[in-house]
Structure 1
Amino acid sequence: MTPDVVHTRPRERALLVGVETPQEPHWMHEESLEELSRLVQSAGGEVVRQETQRLDAPTAPYYVGRGKAKELAELCFGLGIDSVIFDDELSPAQSRNLSNLFARKVLDRTQLILDIFAQRAQSREGKLQIELAQLRYLLPRLTHMWAHLSRQYGTIGTRGPGETQLEMDRRRVKERIAKLKRELEEVRRRRAVQRGARVRKDWTCVSLVGYTNAGKSTLFNYLTRASVPAEDKLFATLDPTTRVWELPDRSKVLLTDTVGFIRKLPPRLIESFKATLEELEGADLLLHVVDLSSPNYEEQIRAVEAVLDELKVAHKPTLVVFNKVDRVANRSIVERALALRRRSIAVSARTGEGIDKLLEEVQAETSAGRVRAVFRIPWDHVEVISELYREGGVLQTRYREDAVEVIALVSPVLRGRLSSFVVENKERHLSDVDPCLVLQAKVGAFGASSS
């Protein structure tokens, strides 16, 4: 028998183009192009070549100079280029002129990011947000899509069809944008209800933020034993994920892994993803994860802080987590980074180095305001014990004939809600409990009893 032939789709061959201006340091331009190259790889393409032109500012007709544009067109034919990708957002006129000149697909940085997001979105919410961003990008460019039908406005034979189709498309896009906004507003309301439930239960919320590919998902998996996809590529994680995270004192917080940020992040993308990024508004603590192995980690920190400022959450308590220290051979780099940020810690989410210190820091931050209390719970109210495990930090338990005594670290709200079970005179005397009778509590130990 003839073996089956597996046909694999060839990767798109891409040419990257950037303009270096006097206002931008050379290293920053090089880093931006390198980042664009990694974005292409994340999208499944292959970078064949990078081209740069030094100009005072991008030109209006072609982004690069007219002569450079013609040179690039010839280069595309010679190298068999499928796509030409520019490192900045192109205007509708620039995009049209370049497409006509190159006779092949022309993309800009924004389109590339939107394409990656469209590939990675799994949840319905993520897909809605991506579609909204894509339509907002498309709307001002519709005019040029119909230029072949309405180029000579007012002339015989060209007056109606182009303009009619253009207006129809504009109306449909605007109607779809309005519908998506309504659906995302419903998502916002639903998230607000969920955040309200967390507040009522006094859950402490911690969110991971950082530059894309800083290792947030790897750290998230290490801390919560989750299985969020963690790949060495930009925007490997798109949809946010929340898990319960138990700290050393057995208190529990909600930890959320969010989408990574990037330089030149399109404003319309931030606007479209506000329903997701609103999770940061409800966070009690932000863990800003930084890839310390990157030579430009300081610039990445500033890029993330700029986005946090735009989202109006820069005032939140923040702990900088310098990640990937296992990739840093020179320890002086680690020491310099820690000196750079007063509230910072160095870890490796891959090897576990520094994680214990991170847990201590987060515990110290999130335990502020929590109190130790002793609860005496009759056997016919074991559901209260389940609530303490679920929302508090159970330290010790002691079993008696008529009740169970539980020593726990709880919030004032939870203590107030369970005040009828609190033993006032034992709150400050944890040592009174006979250690021979104390059992270290296991999460979920009373789940079966309560059912």
Structure 2
Amino acid sequence: MTNHAEDFTLDTELAQTAAWDTDDDFESGYADPDDTDPEEVTTGDLDLAARHELRRVAGLRTELEDITEVEYRQLRLERVVLVGVWTDGTIEDAENSMAELALLAETAGSEVLDAIYQRRQNPDPATYVGRGKVEGLGEIVQATGADTVICDGELAPSQLRNLEDRLKVKVVDRTALILDIFAQHAKSKEGKAQVELAQLNYMKQRLRGWGGNLSRQVGGRVAGGAGIGGRGPGETKIETDRRRINDRIAKLRRELKAMAGTRTTMRQERRRNAVPSVAIAGYTNAGKSSLLNRLTGAGVLVENALFATLDPTTRRTQATDGRVYTMSDTVGFVRHLPHQLVEAFRSTLEEVADSDLIVHVVDGSHADPEGQINAVREVLAEIGAADIPELIVINKTDVADPLVVARLKQREPHSVAVSARTGEGIADALAAIEAELPRPQVEFDALVPYARGDLVDQIHRLGEIDSLEHTADGTRIAGRATEALAGELAAYAV
């Protein structure tokens, strides 16, 4: 790797590949209420409708009486310039990373004007990009009229402050961008609390003030009413803000701990009843929610956007042999997923760590599916789910290159190729999932009285039946069951 810096400018068209198209979004994930039977409208349809619903914008004088939230955001989009530092890997890796940053920026509601990245051995410790390149970046910002610069990495507080001082515009790093998207898409009480906790942990280390206003000390006759008894060194403004943030963080942690209790109780109940659990995990926008809808008819929100799903959805379903198991949709992962999010969403991610099988969904049409697989596995290892059995599901085969799909299947022998949109390969995916489910181990042979039909029902749901015969004295059943169920059947053993 060379020491000299080379600037590479990403073509603007690359940044426009994920521009929001309202018509496409409606076609892919939302049915017009006028054309849909009200009884067939699912929760996901209602969620997507709410995200795109008509709402009046006060104080905005246009010829439209009502405009959608998406249209309003397009009128008020932030104009951004993307900046990246390429330290290792190939040029394709650098361009894929910048393309993903552009998708993130547009999902957050901004217009990408330009994108540049620089080849360096390491990011500059003071200004992220080279000091000389900051001047060139400033010229681009002035020429394009941008009001925000987004950096493809997590900036130290000093880097953030130095760049803002030199560029005279707002500077945002990748972590803050992802947190902003999460804040927009969170809808449940738990999801909102998790996002706020992650944002506060991020913000706490980056408090700063302009003109020394955060260095003021409380003392004397002040607006806060300290007065007598409050004189002396006191707290500076930044110390007060940091204390309030810490207090809020402590309160959010207590609330999330209480909310996590319900989720833990449900998981313990499933384990007590030996109900297998399957977690659908994968890169953001790989099609996890679409796959869940196709496999279970869950009807959850589907949208062609990054991090459209934040709140996990669990659905109960049945295997072809009658066994009951649960399938959960989880939040998507991304390269360099902020540590604050992993910590804040710990209780949610436990759905993956406590599962019996991970269905790892991969976007077969993506430019770098192998990179996505590696990024997801890094997060799985971080949450303690690396040793759980994994089934790779290569999605979007209807638009993917067949050569890429074949390459992925060769690289990942334990995989199936599907299209959640068309339904192609779904039967193979279900068969592969059912083959991986944990099987009951205790063999039994029992004559169950007809009065105990509840036991026969449990055997169908939780066990495996090798033979079944209806006799004059009851139902003769042989097969395998869980330890708890086998214990109940012991009284009727033959």
Normalised to the residue count of structure 2, the TM-score between the two structures is 0.76
Instruction: Tell me which residue corresponds to 1:315.
Output: 387
**Matched residues in 2 for 1:346 and 1:241: separation?**
23
Instruction: Tell me which residue corresponds to 2:304.
Output: 232
Output one character per residue of 1:1-58: Cα deviation in whole Å (capped at 9) or x when no partner.
x97534634222211111122x332211111110011111211222111122223322
Cα gap change, 1:80 to 1:399, in 2 (>3 Å): farther
**Matched residues in 2 for 1:409 and 1:212: separation?**
41
Q: Give the drift of 1:320.
A: 1.1
Instruction: Tell me which residue corresponds to 1:40.
Output: 105
- 1:263 counterpart = 2:328: no
Is the 1:348–1:355 contact (alpha carbons within 8 Å) kept by the matching residues of 2? Answer: yes
Equivalent of residue 90 in structure 2, options 14, 21, 25: 25
Cα gap change, 1:380 to 1:146, in 2 (>3 Å): farther
Instruction: Tell me which residue corresponds to 2:183.
Output: 118
> Greater CA deviation, 107-116 or 121-130?
121-130
- 1:207 counterpart = 2:259: no
> Greater CA deviation, 373-382 or 278-287?
373-382
Q: Give the drift of 1:169.
A: 1.0
- 1:354 counterpart = 2:425: yes
Matched letter for residue 258 of structure 1 = T
Q: Give the drift of 1:364.
A: 1.7
Instruction: Tell me which residue corresponds to 2:355.
Output: 283
- 1:75 counterpart = 2:140: yes
Give the gaps of 5 or more residues in structure 1.
154-158, 425-451
Instruction: Tell me which residue corresponds to 2:413.
Output: 342
> Greater CA deviation, 40-49 or 73-82?
73-82
Q: Give the drift of 1:288.
A: 0.9
Cα gap change, 1:75 to 1:5, in 2 (>3 Å): farther
- 1:93 counterpart = 2:158: yes
**Matched residues in 2 for 1:379 and 1:407: separation?**
12
Aligned length: 418
Instruction: Tell me which residue corresponds to 1:419.
Output: 489
Instruction: Tell me which residue corresponds to 1:439.
Output: none
**Matched residues in 2 for 1:160 and 1:15: separation?**
46
Normalised to the residue count of structure 1, the TM-score between the two structures is 0.83
**Matched residues in 1 for 2:80 and 2:478: separation?**
59
Output one character per residue of 1:264-283: Cα deviation in whole Å (capped at 9) or x when no partner.
11112111111111112210
Q: Give the drift of 1:114.
A: 0.2
Instruction: Tell me which residue corresponds to 1:430.
Output: none
Instruction: Tell me which residue corresponds to 2:24.
Output: none
Cα gap change, 1:372 to 1:251, in 2 (>3 Å): farther
Identity of aligned residues (%): 43
Cα gap change, 1:168 to 1:395, in 2 (>3 Å): farther
Matched letter for residue 287 of structure 2 = G
**Matched residues in 2 for 1:39 and 1:29: separation?**
15
- SS of equivalent to 2:137: helix
Output one character per residue of 1:322-372: Cα deviation in whole Å (capped at 9) or x when no partner.
111222343x43332212122111111122222222222222221533678
Matched letter for residue 387 of structure 2 = H
Q: Write the mapping of 1:238-253 to structure 2, written as runs, cut at 5 A.
A: 238-253=310-325
**Matched residues in 2 for 1:310 and 1:4: separation?**
49
> Greater CA deviation, 308-317 or 355-364?
355-364
Q: Give the drift of 1:398.
A: 7.9
Q: Give the drift of 1:420.
A: 5.9
- SS of equivalent to 2:398: helix
Matched letter for residue 256 of structure 2 = L
Q: Write the mapping of 1:384-403 to structure 2, written as runs, cut at 5 A.
A: 384=455, 387=458, 391=462
Is the 1:249–1:363 contact (alpha carbons within 8 Å) kept by the matching residues of 2? Answer: no
Equivalent of residue 136 in structure 1, options 201, 219, 228: 201
**Matched residues in 2 for 1:394 and 1:418: separation?**
16
Instruction: Tell me which residue corresponds to 2:65.
Output: 5
Matched letter for residue 351 of structure 1 = T
**Matched residues in 1 for 2:115 and 2:232: separation?**
43
Equivalent of residue 209 in structure 2, options 126, 145, 152: 145
Equivalent of residue 177 in structure 1, options 249, 252, 257: 249
Output one character per residue of 1:389-426: Cα deviation in whole Å (capped at 9) or x when no partner.
665578999888986x49697632353254168564xx
**Matched residues in 2 for 1:414 and 1:150: separation?**
62
Q: Give the drift of 1:208.
A: 0.8
Output one character per residue of 1:272-302: Cα deviation in whole Å (capped at 9) or x when no partner.
1111111122101111111112131111111
Equivalent of residue 120 in structure 2, options 52, 55, 61: 55
Instruction: Tell me which residue corresponds to 2:365.
Output: 293
Q: Give the drift of 1:184.
A: 2.3
Output one character per residue of 1:225-277: Cα deviation in whole Å (capped at 9) or x when no partner.
01111222211111111001222212121001111111111112111111111
Cα gap change, 1:140 to 1:340, in 2 (>3 Å): same
